[in-house]
Structure 1
Amino acid sequence: MSRAPLYFVRHGETDWNAEGRLQGQRDTPLNHRGHAQAGEAAERLRGLLGADVGALPFIASPLERTRHTMEGLRRALGLDPAGYTLDPRLREIGFGAWEGLTWKDVRRSDPARSQARDRDRWGYCPPGEGAESYAMVAERVRPLLEALDRPTVVVAHGGVARAVMVALGAANTEDAPHLEILQGRILVLEAGTRRWV
């Protein structure tokens, strides 16, 4: 597994984030605050890495909210906005039939499955096409992480961050699904540790 530092950026806020809706693999755009958070993340990254930041590889999920966060971040760093790679393994966890709903909606409309998920946040797979568990996402991203051989900037999603932390030994399967994944900040993952900048 990669031992080089990973600089993980969650995409900026969308209206669905603000409303507490499960986005999953739906393509939702950044809102005004989300665009500003891309610039905030860029300043934090510049503070961490200085002029060296431009030499790193940048990889993003192919969803619109991550692409626009990456492009805004790179623009704020004075880098070519298009100078990054897309990797479909970084797309968000699929929530299947629950996408577009709030957790309150899910608990009301599907109480038995909601309770089953509460008992096993890491391993539970929601109903519907394209649905995944965090365990499945961790297996999806593991080959990408294993291929990283130098410090890398990744822009992806909250569910992916949880899977990446477990895959890199920076969180366990019990805690990871409950961790808050911040927007506009940098999650530094290195040598089995995690810290927010």
Structure 2
Amino acid sequence: MKHLPLIFVRHGETEWNRGGKLQGHRDIPLNAMGRRQAARNGRALASLIGQRDWDFWASPLDRASETMRIALREAGRPDQAFRTDDRLREITYGEWEGMTLPHLFEHEPERMKRRDQEKWLFQHPGGESYSMLSDRVAAWLSELHGPTIVAAHGGIMRVLLHLIGGMSTDAVPFLYAPQDRILVFTARQVATI
């Protein structure tokens, strides 16, 4: 694959992450912990990026773009430019953005049951499904021309694990997406650092 290796960095923590709220397309800034996580990930990147030519991308949402800026500074590339692409935005939860899962289980039990039974295809009310998210990320991947570093969201990480890592659509939507680690996709493996 022409875009490998690909290094994925999830954005650092926000107050909505801390409170368990679904963020989706809401533009919530990093909190202090999130900035520390981004710095940690930047230090981890420093040993990986070396002198190789990389393409740098981020979601246009502030929490991902700020993560990329902090990570690049910590990796020794404070002036490195990066591009943003709307296709790298988090999955949109539509009407559910700003709500917590416990609230939804209490107030939307039937929809949540359907969601958990077929999470890949479940379309959030007024939002997207993971299948729809996968289609837009696949379109972005198809346009890459070389080794890539991207800062984005947990949903993006999950669909990359499906599209590049070959993980099942039954399992991938349920995976934990750490904010203090990076994923490295190569032709042979996926590694967490």
TM-score computed with the length of structure 2 as normaliser: 0.94
Secondary structure in structure 2 of the residue aligned to 1:181: coil
State the partner residue of 2:51: 52
Cα RMSD, aligned residues only: 1.5
How much does 1:134 deviate?
0.5
CA contact (8 A) 1:60 1:156 kept: yes
Q: Is 1:151 the counterpart of 2:150 in the alignment?
A: no
CA contact (8 A) 1:61 1:155 kept: yes
Q: 1:104 aligns with which of 102, 114, 132?
A: 102
Q: Is 1:69 the counterpart of 2:67 in the alignment?
A: yes
Secondary structure in structure 2 of the residue aligned to 1:141: helix
Distance 1:164-1:192 versus aligned 2 partners, 3 A rule: farther
Secondary structure in structure 1 of the residue aligned to 2:145: coil
Within 2, Cα distance between the matches of 1:111 and 1:166?
28
State the partner residue of 2:134: 138
State the partner residue of 1:23: 23
State the partner residue of 1:6: 6
Q: 1:90 aligns with which of 88, 105, 113?
A: 88
State the partner residue of 1:180: 176
Within 2, Cα distance between the matches of 1:43 and 1:152?
17
CA contact (8 A) 1:29 1:65 kept: yes
Secondary structure in structure 1 of the residue aligned to 2:29: coil
1:87-127 Cα distance to aligned partner (Å, 9 max, x none): 11000000011110110011111111111001001110111
Within 1, Cα distance between the matches of 2:137 and 2:188?
16
State the partner residue of 1:41: 41
Within 2, Cα distance between the matches of 1:120 and 1:93?
16
Secondary structure in structure 2 of the residue aligned to 1:52: coil
Within 2, Cα distance between the matches of 1:38 and 1:95?
24
TM-score computed with the length of structure 1 as normaliser: 0.92
Within 1, Cα distance between the matches of 2:79 and 2:24?
25
1:118-172 Cα distance to aligned partner (Å, 9 max, x none): 10011101112xx000110000011211222211100000011111211114311
Larger mean Cα displacement after TM superposition, 89-98 or 139-148: 139-148
Q: Is 1:189 the counterpart of 2:188 in the alignment?
A: no
Secondary structure in structure 1 of the residue aligned to 2:51: helix
Distance 1:4-1:82 versus aligned 2 partners, 3 A rule: closer
In structure 2, list runs of 5 or more residues that go unmatched.
none
Within 2, Cα distance between the matches of 1:174 and 1:192?
22
Q: Is 1:162 the counterpart of 2:158 in the alignment?
A: yes
Letter matched to residue 194 of structure 1: V
CA contact (8 A) 2:13 2:31 kept: yes
How much does 1:78 deviate?
2.5
How much does 1:81 deviate?
4.7
Within 1, Cα distance between the matches of 2:139 and 2:124?
24
